[in-house]
Amino acid sequence: MLGLMQSKPLLISGLIEHAAANHGDVEVVSTLHGGEQRRSNWRTVHQRARRLASALGGLGVAQGDRVATLAWNTDRHLELYYAVAGMGAVLHTVNPRLFPEQIAYILNHAEDGIVCFDLDFAGLMTQIAPQLTTVKRFVALCRPDQLPALELPGLCCYEDLLEQGDPGFQWPLLDENTASSMCYTSGTTGHPKGVLYSHRSTVLHSFTACATDGLGLNARDAVLLAVPMFHVNAWGVPYASAMCGAKLVLPGSNLSGDKLYATMRDEGCTFSLGVPTVWLGFFQYIEQHRASLDLSELRLKRVVVGGSAAPRAIIERFEQLLGVYVIQAWGMTETSPLATIGNLLPKHGGLPLDERFDVQCRQGRPIYGVEVEIFGAEGQALPHDGQQMGELRVRGPWVLSAYYGSAAGSALDAQGWFSTGDVALIDPDGYVQITDRSKDVIKSGGEWISSIDLENLAVGHPKVREAAVIGLPHSKWQERPLLIVVPKSGEQVDATELLEFMKERVARWWLPDEVVFVDELPHTATGKLLKTKLREQFRGYRLVTDPA
Residues lying near ligand AMP in the complex (CB under 6 A)? 185, 187, 232, 306-309, 328-330, 332-333, 337, 363, 420, 422, 434, 437, 443
**Are 223 and 303 in contact, with CB atoms under 8 Å apart?**
no
235 is annotated as an active-site residue: no
Q: How many Cβ atoms from other residues are within 10 Å of residue 412's Cβ?
A: 17
Least Å from the CB of residue 329 to ligand AMP = 6
448 is annotated as an active-site residue: yes
Least Å from the CB of residue 499 to ligand AMP = 26
β-strand partners of 419: 393
185 is annotated as an active-site residue: yes
Q: Is the dihedral of CA 394, 95, 13, 84 positive or negative?
A: negative
Least Å from the CB of residue 490 to ligand AMP = 40
Crossing angle between the packed helical segments 12-22 and 199-210, to the nearest 10 degrees = 50
156 vs 195, beta carbon nearer ligand AMP:
195
Least Å from the CB of residue 311 to ligand AMP = 10
Catalytic-labelled residue, pool 398, 417, 448, 510? 448
> Which letter does DSSP use for residue 405 in this model?
T
Radius of gyration of the chain (CA): 24
> Which letter does DSSP use for residue 371 in this model?
E
- Distance of alpha carbon 229 from alpha carbon 239, whole angstroms: 11
Sequence-distant (6+) residues with CB within 8 A of 278 are 226, 227, 255, 260, 446
106 vs 114, beta carbon nearer ligand AMP:
106
Least Å from the CB of residue 18 to ligand AMP = 27
- Distance of alpha carbon 12 from alpha carbon 181, whole angstroms: 10
Catalytic-labelled residue, pool 185, 316, 466, 545? 185
- Distance of alpha carbon 301 from alpha carbon 326, whole angstroms: 9
Sequence-distant (6+) residues with CB within 8 A of 330 are 306, 339, 340, 363, 364, 422, 432, 434
Q: Which residue is nearest to ligand AMP (CB)?
A: 333
- Distance of alpha carbon 365 from alpha carbon 385, whole angstroms: 14
228 vs 245, beta carbon nearer ligand AMP:
228
Catalytic-labelled residue, pool 42, 443, 455, 479? 443
Catalytic-labelled residue, pool 17, 79, 267, 334? 334
Least Å from the CB of residue 424 to ligand AMP = 9
274 vs 487, beta carbon nearer ligand AMP:
274
Task: Please give the full DSSP string across 121-169, using - where no structure is assigned.
Answer: GHHHHHHHGGG-SS--EEEESS-GGG------TT-EEHHHHHHTS-TT-
Residue 239 Cα distances to 232, 248, 374, 533, angstroms: 12, 11, 30, 44
443 is annotated as an active-site residue: yes
Least Å from the CB of residue 276 to ligand AMP = 9
141 vs 434, beta carbon nearer ligand AMP:
434
Task: Please give the full DSSP string across 1-64, using - where no structure is assigned.
Answer: ----S------HHHHHHHHHHHSTTSEEEEE-GGG-EEEEEHHHHHHHHHHHHHHHHHTT--TT
Taken as a whole, the chain contains a residue count of 548
Host H or E run for residue 390: strand 390-395
Least Å from the CB of residue 234 to ligand AMP = 11
372 vs 502, beta carbon nearer ligand AMP:
372
248 vs 332, beta carbon nearer ligand AMP:
332
- Peptide bond preceding 337 in cis form (omega within 30 of 0): yes
> Where in the sequence numbering do the catalytic residues fall?
185, 334, 443, 448
